[in-house]
Amino acid sequence: MGDKQKAALEALKRKADGDLDEFKTARRVRTSKSITPQASMAYANGAIRITRTPGREYTKNCINLKDVIHKDQLVSACIYSFFIAEEELYGYLPFSHTPGGIPIYIGRDPNFDVPTVEMASTQAGVKFQEKISRKQLDIIRPALQQLHRQRYGQNLHTFYAWGPGSCHSKILLLVYSTFLRIVITSCNMMSIDTELGDNHWYIHDVPKRSSASNRLPIGFEADLLSHMEALGTPKAFLDSIRGAYDYSTVKVHLITSVPGTCAGAKAEKHGLLRLRRVVKDMDLKLLEEAENLQLEICTASVGSLNVKWLHGFYDCALGKGTLGTYDGIRDSPKLKLFYPTMEDVKNADEVARDAASNIGCHTRPWDKAPHEVKQIFHHYESKDRGKLFHQKLILAYNSRDSTQLPYYVYVGSANFSQSAWGTLEHDKRGNEPTSDKKLIKLANFECGVLIPGHLVKDLLEDGTESWQDGIVPHVQNTQPYDLSKDKAWNDYRWTAAYREGG
């Protein structure tokens, strides 16, 4: 080989080596851009948190949506909420107008998707109704799906629960490459709840199995899948997670409601009778602790309460073996209910006042409500001064020993009402497990978790001073209403012909 040929060959080799180096560099750049760090299991043993409102920026045991949704690492996601403020939630989700985006499933109560429902009704030639019927929903469902996809992306799959009451559950199921993140909360998907008001979040990361189980789901997994199916979650998503994750670290109990009457074998699956069964099985012996026991409720919506229903709720919350009837009873059980007065709302900050239409009291007219019912009401005062709330909390604890962990905590979507929990009624057919009771008047879809007290300490963020600091966002020693002047808060938007002085 001549010198010229050798020189030419060396030049070609240098060029080839240079091209190869450029290719390798470009590939590394592309790879570094395409690979993002995997989301890690931050809540492998579960967690209970409260919303990180502005005054809690540096407070332990607080959280926001940005802490649980990692947009770039999602494999798929399913979010169900009674109300969704799209402009405040959708920025956390990776929508795509081109094919191939990750599947995003969004469910809600159709009565709170008003503008799109109106458009879909017009397209389908159906008269728009203020309260959507099941038949109307079935007709306009395809148009609803298409309108949302045109607006947000081809990877969006919308679905709707339908019921005679409120489709009120609030659940996020976030699929990452190695685990499923479960979030059950009192927050509607709107910033007033997820950033600016007192709310609760139960979060649990369950690891992906090496291979999916073909066995029928049991326990928490079975209850969760059953409730998601009842809400109308598309089969494609449910099939993608069924049997795929290990729930062995989940020790809390799911408590749900679905509309209808619950009797016989179904009676202990929902509402008050589900609450009773879970507490009864925990064998806390709360009846023996009656002298020290304090049962507290904080709720964003109060139903039309009466003394008989309060006693039924109390019996179930204590897990009583025998359930009474309480016909003709006058005295209320030992309950504390935290709910703001008109004055409490006036004293809140401007943003909280503006959002106070999201809470309301159906025990009205207030002046004619039974004294025995009104005397359980206590003022609401947030520990983040000026804030209000959308939480739904049931707390059973020893009022004489602040160092003792609570007996149990419930957080979730269920307000203090018959529509959420149902009403006990004698079961003429008899049913020994339920003390011959059945549930009627269940009108809502609800979802929450009951957390055994002995778990609470390990569910708090490291450094949280006490369980009260970690999970109770309001002051617990506020005064009961002065019934000579205090009135439960209601907004004119809740009540026909309502006036501040009325």
Structure tokens at 129: 């109704």
**205: its two tokens:** 């990361």
Please state the separation of Cα 502 from the chain's center in Å: 33
380 closest CA partner among 419, 352, 350: 352
* Inter-helix orientation angle 307-317/271-282, to 10°: 40
- Give the chain's length: 502
Q: Specify whether the CB–CB gap between 205 and 43 falls below 8 A.
A: yes
Question: CA 321 from chain center: how many Å?
Answer: 29
Catalytic residue among 70, 157, 362, 390: 390
Residue positions in the annotated binding site for substrate? 170, 392
Element (H, E) at 50: strand 47-51
Looking at residue 245, the DSSP 8-state letter turns out to be: B
CA angle 431, 436, 439 (to 5 degrees): 95
Binding site membership: which residues?
Answer: 170, 392
**Cα separation, 157 vs 240, whole angstroms:** 15
Structure tokens belonging to residue 110? 């159709």
Tell me whether residue 390 is one of the annotated catalytic residues: yes
Catalytic residue status for 168: yes
Tokens of 338: 């935290």
Cα 220 to Cα 235: distance, rounded to the nearest angstrom: 19
d(Cα 170, Cα 167) in Å, to the nearest integer? 9
* 321: its two tokens: 């073996």
Cα 353 to chain centroid distance, Å, stands at 23
- Residue from 148, 168, 200, 379 carrying the catalytic annotation: 168
Residue 278 Cα distances to 54, 251, 255, 271, 409, angstroms: 36, 12, 9, 11, 12
Cα dihedral angle (386, 387, 392, 397), rounded to 10 degrees?
A: -50
Judged on CB neighbours under 10 Å (0-12, 13-18, 19+), 168 is buried
Listed in sequence order, the residues at least 6 apart from 283 whose beta carbon sits closer than 8 Å to its beta carbon are none
Q: Which active-site residues does the annotation give?
A: 168, 390
